Amino acid sequence: MIDSNIIVLIINIRAVMKDKLNLRFSTIAGLILIAAISRFIPHPPNFTPLLAIAIFGGATFSDKRYAFIVPIAAMLLSDLFLSFHGTMIAVYLCFIASVFIGFALRRKKSAMGIAAASLLASVLFFVVTNFSAWLVYPMYPKTFAGLMLSYEMAIPFFSNTVLSGLIYSTVLFGGFALAENLNPKIKLQKIRA
């Protein structure tokens, strides 16, 4: 005979699992995973889905913990295969900041809002990672002129960062909106603040 407490426990575990691993969560996580895998496709320098993944995760995951955990896990997994470098801390800090930028879109997602979030994340990434490169790499003199040189040398890559952020944000947010329209069950879980 099975104890009634065990039955209650099993029912509660199923309810939690159903809530945590629902269709909405799976769709968002799947889109993030696909975007992260695209890092393995040959691409121009700085043309990656990273910032868009972070913004999308922040804007769409119902549970804010998953807004950080899933995108960072996807990024970390791809970095294990691609490699780490001296400015990884700055990259991950920008990634985390971009999740917070995505939080601003949680209540109202518009094309202009998504574009603005993508541009803000791109500028933040440019400023922070190139400051980090100036600090870490010996090719830049540790002077104001050296700092300006690090930014100047990065200008050609900035357009790729902006463009990739806009394109991948469009793909992620647009793909998710399409999925919601095709399957209304994805919309059922409301955003919790």
Alpha-carbon gap, residue 115 to 122, rounded angstroms: 10
Q: List the chain pLDDT tens, one digit each, 193 residues.
A: 455 555 554 555 455 445 545 777 888 888 888 887 887 888 888 888 889 999 999 999 888 898 898 888 888 887 888 777 778 899 899 999 999 999 999 988 999 999 999 999 999 999 999 999 999 999 999 999 999 999 999 999 999 999 999 999 999 999 999 988 888 777 765 544 4
How many domains does the chain divide into? 1
User: How many C-beta neighbours within 10 Å does residue 161 have?
Assistant: 24
Q: What is the CATH number of the domain that holds 175?
A: 1.10.1760
Q: Give how far Cα 75 sits from Cα of 18, 34, 104, Å.
A: 26, 11, 22
In a domain, 132, yes or no: yes
Q: Give how far Cα 103 sits from Cα of 17, 78, 112, 114, 150, Å.
A: 24, 24, 15, 11, 31
Alpha-carbon gap, residue 154 to 148, rounded angstroms: 10
Query: What is the domain range of residue 94?
Result: 22-187
Cα angle 165, 175, 16; round to 5: 105
